[in-house]
């Protein structure tokens, strides 16, 4: 049965292997030549978040655009795999009638579903996983000279460093398989998979800051000492909100009463505020917690879709 | 493979299938004995394909049950003793013939590879050719080999001859008959052209408007029916199945004819085709029981 599933997806398999080899070679080559460039120009120190005296180097770092393009291509990879390997997997069989042949052998429907799915999704996960590791290596090497300057939480960076891309791969595959079974049309299934992917991606981007409790710190008005942790660093952390705190503890995020006043601290004190506060997600701890949680959500969605797919295969495919 | 002894290859009980547009099959009960070549006949859209899909478990019945060697179809795959060749003869067109046989081997634990390969190569089908490049006859040969390669006890073929030229039809039928006889396989062939099956089938299952109209042994059916001809507007003796009066002459298929028939009626033997046509034309009556109307 594994041979059958493999034989039917041979072209997808060959294409994935080509993407892995070509993409991997490109990333590896970029990584090595970039390391060389950084040492030769004495820029290694400028890749760190708190580097000083490096202003101006980022704008003419010649690998910046290349890395950005790698990131964008990588972001689309789970989608492309789901569209071209997941959606046609059963839609094509239902469209052409070959499912009758498959379903009238001595193999159960569930086994047919899951063997084909695994033979498709496992190589896809390998491709995404390996390319992700190489891309993350490139990005961290470039550090603040590359796209990471915009912060690790920036959507393209977030999708390129960490396990969330694997979650998207599983999710998009499952979505493609289910839509293929339901619509029985390859093109319709692909279009719906694209829609579903975009919807979930946008949704996750927008709920990210509510998934884990934010880091919190406050400091007295005009003072320097902080309570509860250091202020966030724009390059690493995700800023959520800041504002003022009254003596009774009430928080106000958008107090406009002191705009244009020269001594704002005095104005705030007069308005009854005693402290300022800030909320953010930490790039060191919260980042990885979020990556794991979001991957878990995507994996959970994928499994739920497959449960429906198994039901559909058992009861509705006829 | 002795587990199926004592069970008929196929048995249906009150079997019905309702689609959104209505009943495709309704209250069908029949039992097909072993080692028979069964002609499943009926006009287009009568429910022949629906019946086959119910037997294979591709579709699920709305009412009643169907059993293959005593087991109901399930999602666990086809009964190991049942093989099916659908109307479209679905094969993967990008696979080669050899790969298609390998597909059969990987999808069926009871697969006999040497036998399947012989079935294909004895017809001169090139093993390395892609399915998509084969002629209709060669394609059918490969599809039949995939069906028979699992060594079934009963094989269902849905309109296997429909898209073949006369030579390929004859060849396919001969192949099926040989294999059926040599290996004791029950063959169920559906067709809306009875003439094709007349020479080879020995059991008849006729479906009209989603109901079993006739089920039973062909020889018995032939001996029980007569074709009467006589003048127009005259009452037909015996139990007429249908009466065709064209204004000058009456022709009638009659069942259980009394011994003596008086003139002006002339009695002749009914061919299988006459019987089938007669029952197809006859107004719908109560569905036949599992014992059948002729048996």
Three-state secondary-structure class, residue A80? helix
Residue A215 has a pLDDT of: 86
B78: chain A residues, CB-CB within 8 Å? 103-106
User: How far is it, in rounded angstroms, from Cα B9 to Cα B273?
Assistant: 26
B107: chain A residues, CB-CB within 8 Å? 1, 4, 102, 105-107
pLDDT in tens, B38-88: 999 888 888 899 999 999 998 999 999 999 999 998 878 899 899 999 888
pLDDT-based confidence at A75, cuts 50/70/90? Answer: very high
Q: Between chains, do B146 and A101 touch, taking CB under 8 Å as contact?
A: yes
User: How far is it, in rounded angstroms, from Cα A240 to Cα A217?
Assistant: 12
- Indicate which of B92, B145, B150, B188 best probes the interface with A, i.e. most A CBs within 10 Å of its own CB: B92
Strands in chain B per DSSP E: 10-19, 22-32, 37-41, 63-68, 82-85, 154-158, 186-191, 203-208, 211-217, 225-231, 239-245, 249-255, 266-269
* Interface contact A101, partner B, CB < 8 A: yes
Average pLDDT for A175-183:
97
User: How is residue A227 annotated by DSSP?
Assistant: B
User: How far is it, in rounded angstroms, from Cα A75 to Cα B113?
Assistant: 46
Q: Between chains, do A97 and B95 touch, taking CB under 8 Å as contact?
A: no
Among A104, A110, A315, whose Cβ lies nearest the Cβ of B78?
A104
Low-confidence ranges of chain B (pLDDT < 70): 1-5, 234, 238, 259-261, 284-295
User: How far is it, in rounded angstroms, from Cα B5 to Cα B23?
Assistant: 33
Among A100, A103, A318, whose Cβ lies nearest the Cβ of B60?
A318
DSSP H helical ranges for B57-165: 97-107, 113-121, 136-148
Domain boundaries, chain A: 2-211+286-315, 215-281
Q: Between chains, do A100 and B77 touch, taking CB under 8 Å as contact?
A: no
Residue B295 has a pLDDT of: 38
- What residues contact residue A95 under an 8 Å CB cut-off, 6+ apart? A184, A185, A186
| Measured CA distances, B188 to A103, A205, B222, B261 (Å) | 19, 59, 20, 37
pLDDT-based confidence at A158, cuts 50/70/90? Answer: very high
Q: Between chains, do A103 and B102 touch, taking CB under 8 Å as contact?
A: no
| Class of residue B285 by CB neighbours under 10 A (exposed 0-12, middle 13-18, buried 19+) | exposed
Task: At B256, list the tokens.
Answer: 């259980």
Number of Cβ within 10 Å of residue A134's Cβ equals: 20
* Interface contact A109, partner B, CB < 8 A: yes
B108: chain A residues, CB-CB within 8 Å? 105-107
pLDDT in tens, A203-247: 999 998 888 888 888 888 876 656 666 677 767 788 888 888 888
Among B78, B91, B92, whose Cβ lies nearest the Cβ of A105?
B78
User: How far is it, in rounded angstroms, from Cα B217 to Cα B201?
Assistant: 9
Peptide bond preceding B70: is omega within 30 degrees of 0, i.e. cis? no
| Measured CA distances, A136 to A27, A81, A132, B101, B257 (Å) | 10, 20, 6, 46, 90
pLDDT-based confidence at A59, cuts 50/70/90? Answer: low
pLDDT in tens, A93-130: 999 999 999 999 999 999 999 999 999 999 999 999 99
Q: Between chains, do A1 and B80 touch, taking CB under 8 Å as contact?
A: no
Question: Please, what is the average pLDDT of chain A?
Answer: 90
Helix B113-121 with B97-107: angle, nearest 10 deg: 150
Measure the CA angle with vertex A131, ends A130 and A135; round to 5°: 125
B56: chain A residues, CB-CB within 8 Å? 103-104
Among A1, A314, A318, whose Cβ lies nearest the Cβ of B59?
A318
pLDDT in tens, A9-25: 999 999 999 999 999 99
Number of Cβ within 10 Å of residue B121's Cβ equals: 14
Residue B198 has a pLDDT of: 78
Q: Which string of b and e fits B13-28 if b means at least 16 CB within 10 Å?
A: bebbbeeeeebbbbbb
């Amino acid at each position: 049965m594994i041979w059958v599933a493999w034989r039917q997806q041979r072209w997808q398999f060959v294409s994935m292997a080509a993407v892995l080899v070509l993409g991997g070679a490109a990333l590896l080559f970029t990584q090595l030549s970039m390391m060389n460039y950084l040492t030769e120009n004495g820029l290694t120190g400028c890749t760190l978040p708190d580097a000083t005296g490096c202003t101006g180097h980022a704008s003419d770092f010649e690998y910046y655009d290349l890395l950005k393009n790698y990131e964008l291509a990588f972001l689309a990879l789970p989608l492309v795999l789901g569209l071209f390997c997941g959606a046609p997997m059963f839609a094509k069989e239902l469209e052409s009638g070959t499912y009758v042949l498959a379903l009238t052998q001595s193999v159960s429907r569930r086994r047919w579903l899951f063997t084909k799915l695994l033979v498709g999704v496992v190589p896809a996960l390998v491709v995404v996983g390996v390319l992700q590791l190489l891309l993350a290596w490139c990005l961290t090497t470039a550090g603040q000279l590359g796209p990471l300057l915009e912060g690790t939480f920036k959507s393209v960076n977030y999708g390129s460093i960490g396990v969330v891309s694997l979650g998207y791969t599983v999710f998009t595959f499952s979505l493609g398989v289910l839509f293929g079974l339901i619509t029985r049309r390859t093109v319709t299934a692909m279009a719906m998979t694209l829609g579903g992917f975009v919807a979930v991606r946008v949704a996750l981007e927008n709920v990210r800051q509510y998934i884990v409790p934010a880091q919190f710190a406050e400091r007295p008005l005009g003072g320097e000492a902080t309570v509860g942790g250091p202020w966030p660093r724009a390059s690493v952390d995700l800023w959520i909100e800041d504002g003022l705190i009254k003596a009774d503890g009430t928080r106000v995020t958008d107090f406009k009463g002191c705009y244009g006043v020269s001594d704002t601290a005095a104005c705030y004190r007069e308005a009854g505020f005693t402290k300022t506060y800030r909320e953010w997600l930490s790039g060191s701890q919260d980042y990885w917690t979020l990556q794991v949680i979001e991957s878990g959500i995507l994996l959970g969605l994928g499994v739920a879709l497959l449960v429906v797919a198994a039901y559909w295969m058992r009861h509705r495919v006829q | 493979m002795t587990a199926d002894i004592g069970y008929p290859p196929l048995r249906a009980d009150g079997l019905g299938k309702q689609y959104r547009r209505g009943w495709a099959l309704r209250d069908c009960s029949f039992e097909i004995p072993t080692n028979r070549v069964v002609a499943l006949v009926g006009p287009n859209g009568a429910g022949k394909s629906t019946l086959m899909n119910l037997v294979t478990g591709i579709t699920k019945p709305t009412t009643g049950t169907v059993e293959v060697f005593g087991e109901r179809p399930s999602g666990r795959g086809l009964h190991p003793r049942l093989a099916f060749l659908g109307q479209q003869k679905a094969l993967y067109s990008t696979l080669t013939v050899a790969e298609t046989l390998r597909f059969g081997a990987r999808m069926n634990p009871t697969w006999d590879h040497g036998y399947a390969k012989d079935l294909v190569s004895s017809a001169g089908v090139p093993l390395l050719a892609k399915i998509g490049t084969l002629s209709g006859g060669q394609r059918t040969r490969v599809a039949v080999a995939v069906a028979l390669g699992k060594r079934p006890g009963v094989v269902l073929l849905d309109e296997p001859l429909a898209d073949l030229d006369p030579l390929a039809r004859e060849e396919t039928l001969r192949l099926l008959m040989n294999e059926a006889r040599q290996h004791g396989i029950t063959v169920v062939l559906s067709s809306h052209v009875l003439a094709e099956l007349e020479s080879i089938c020995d059991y008849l299952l006729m479906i009209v408007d989603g109901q079993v109209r006739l089920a039973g042994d062909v020889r018995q059916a032939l001996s029980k029916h007569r074709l009467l001809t006589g003048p127009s507007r005259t009452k037909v003796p015996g139990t007429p199945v249908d009466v065709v009066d064209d204004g000058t002459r009456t022709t009638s298929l009659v069942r259980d004819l009394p011994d003596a028939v008086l003139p002006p009626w002339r009695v002749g033997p009914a061919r299988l085709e006459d019987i089938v046509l007669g029952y197809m034309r006859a107004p719908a009556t109560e569905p036949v029981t599992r014992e059948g109307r002729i048996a």
